Amino acid sequence: MRSLVDDALNFLKAHQSERGLVLLKEPASGNFVVRGVFGMAPDVLATQKPVALLLEKARHEGRACLVLDADQEPIFRTMVELLDFRSALCIPMVRESGEVIGVLYGDSERAAGVYSHSSLHRGEELCGELAERWNGTPAAALPPPPPKPPIAAVIAAVLALTAIGWGLARPASRPAPIPTAAPPLVTPQTARPETIAESFLREIRAHHFADAHRLLSFRLQEELPLSAFERRCVEWSQDDTNRWELQYRRVRVQESGDTFARFVVEPRQPDRAAWTWKLARQSDGWRIDEMPEGPFSRP
């Protein structure tokens, strides 16, 4: 099933991944085996804890993970010195029965925000298609595992892990990405409206309420002061269901212009309501100006 693996890896490359990995479940043993890889060693699951953590969530919990900025994610707080990526995407391939039969993983060290909720949505659609294709594929059609890396690469990996063990954070000796045109610096003043909306959700998920409040318009900050905003966020986040479903909200552009943009913040669960927010361009960039729906709106 080389075409299945190729389609998965091509999706990651098309979404600016610097590294990619495809795991597929062996029908006979039930073990997950690396069937496709680029930019990393096939044994990454055993040697890189942050990557292994995301893969385990996908394999055992069937949960897709979108990492917008690894440096700001609470899940990696105890392993910051081990991080060698900023953005990551990890999506399980799930059969209709609920069985996880594969995992698609990609990441990038280049910058935060390489992937978006739109990337996650497209990846979930692709993984659903791949799971259906895999259902009808006999075990004999599996491609052989990738060849083991040269001994020089193995030695280099061991040396790198030894350096990390001595407490070196983000070693400067990591391989540089393929030279490309430098992306423009994205700041709250220059970010596109969808980036502001996604950043707002990310700050709420991390309980950085003051940072999220700064992404509101001047008008909305006056109408919803920081103390009231924080109180509302804390009260809403105390509900485990609310906190869990917030992780899977996706921002979708509904309408966009030069001075305003309207977004729908879509839930993953069909029984949860979508939120419609409006962003306005003001002197310091795009900001959220109307939140008539959602837990962070004015009480």
DSSP secondary structure letters along 166-195: TT-SS-TTSPPPPP-PPPPPP-TTT--HHH
All residue ranges of the chain with pLDDT < 70 are 1, 46, 135-188, 295-299
Compute the distance between CA of residue 142 and CA of residue 4 in angstroms, rounded to an integer: 10
Residue 157 exposure: Cα atoms within 13 Å on the Cβ side: 16
pLDDT digits (tens, 9 = 90+) for 52-90: 889 988 988 888 999 988 888 888 888 877 888 989 999
Q: Are 293 and 273 in contact (CB under 8 A)?
A: yes
pTM over cut 0.75: no
Rg (CA), the chain: 21
Residues in CB range of 13: below 8 A, 6 or more apart:
20, 38
Count of beta carbons in the 10 Å neighbourhood of residue 252 = 14
Compute the distance between CA of residue 233 and CA of residue 205 in angstroms, rounded to an integer: 10
pLDDT digits (tens, 9 = 90+) for 254-276: 898 889 999 998 887 778 889 99
Q: Are 195 and 123 in contact (CB under 8 A)?
A: no
Residues in CB range of 66: below 8 A, 6 or more apart:
88, 89, 115, 117, 119, 120
DSSP classification of residue 27: T
Q: Are 10 and 3 in contact (CB under 8 A)?
A: no
Q: What is the pLDDT of residue 173?
A: 35
Compute the distance between CA of residue 128 and CA of residue 256 in angstroms, rounded to an integer: 30
Polymer length of the chain: 299
What domains appear along the chain, each with residue ranges and CATH number?
Answer: 2-141 (3.30.450.40), 193-290 (3.10.450.100)
